[in-house]
Amino acid sequence: MTKTKKIITEEELKRYTRQLPLIGQDGQDKLKRANILIAGAGGLGSPIATYLACAGVGRIVIVDDDTVSASNLNRQTLHWSSDVGRKKTTSAQEKIRAMNPYVEVEIISCTLEEANVTGIVGDADLIVDALDNFSARHLLNRNAVKSNIPLIHGAVHGFNGQVMTIIPHQTACLKCVFPQTPAAEIFPIIGVTPGVIGSIQATEVIKYLTGKGDLLINRLLLWDGLSGKMSFLQVKRNLSCAVCGQDG
C-alpha cells in the first residue's frame, strides 16, 4: 500500500541534530515514515519504545494487556509509582508522548492470541518482540513469517539476555532456533538487563530502517551481565522448520 509522506519539521530537525550526521536526512525520513509494532510494554518494551520515540520513529503501536504492579518498578522505566494499577499501555503512551510529541503512539490493550494477532500486526513495517514468554513469542514469530514482516527477538533472564533479527524466508526464524516452547515462569530479573537488551533491539530497528550496519541475522547475540561478556551463536534456517521451512 502507498504510504502518506510525512514531512519532518524544522523543530524536529533541531531535535535530531546529533543523529543526522549518522543517518542523514534520508535516514531520518525513513524513521519518520516507519510503523513499528512493539509487543509488550514492560521491561524490554520500555527502553525499546523510549529510544525509538527519541530517534523519531513516526508511528509506534504498543500491545499489552497487563496492569502496572509494584514488582514491575525495578525495570519497567515507562511506569512509575503513581502508575500502579493502571494499564501499562496507557502509562506507556502518556510517557512516550511527553518525550516526543512528534511521534504517533497507538495502544492496544489485549492479549496476543491466534484470533487477533493478524489484525494487531496489520501493516507494520517491523515487529519487536518485547514479550516475557515463549508461547506468545512463537505465535508472533509464526505471524511475522506468514505476513513477511521482519521480527526483532529479545529475551532476558536474571543478568542474561539475547537478541536476534529475523527476516522471513531468508534467515533462521525463532522456531528454527528454539523448536520447543519452554514453560512460562516468573523469573528473576535485574533492571539493567532489559535496559541493555531493549537498547540493542532498538538499535536493530534503527539499523534495519536506515540500512546502516550489519543486522543480527543468523546470529543470536548472548549477553552475560555478570561477566560483562557478549558472544554470538551462529544459527541457520532449518529448511524443515514447521514455520519457515520449505513445507511450512
Fold exhibited by the domain 10-234: Rossmann fold (3.40.50)
The two most distant CA atoms of the chain are separated, in Å, by 51
| Per-domain residue ranges of the chain | 10-234
For residues 156 and 222, give the distance between their C-alpha atoms in angstroms, rounded to a whole number: 10
**Predicted TM-score of the model (pTM):** 0.96
Q: Are 221 and 230 in contact (CB under 8 A)?
A: yes
pLDDT of residue 44: 98
Q: Helix 88-99 crosses helix 45-55 at what angle (to 10 degrees)? A: 30
In DSSP notation, 105-139 reads EEEE-S---TTTHHHHHTT-SEEEE--S-HHHHHH
Alpha helix positions (H), the chain: 10-15, 20-33, 45-55, 88-99, 117-121, 134-147, 174-177, 192-210
Per-residue confidence (pLDDT) for residue 89, from 0 to 100: 98
- Cβ partners under 8 Å of residue 214, min gap 6: 207
pLDDT for res 1: 36
Q: What are the average pLDDT values for consecutive 10-residue runs of the chain, which has 248 residues?
A: 69 96 97 98 98 98 98 98 98 98 98 96 97 96 97 98 97 96 87 98 98 98 98 97 83
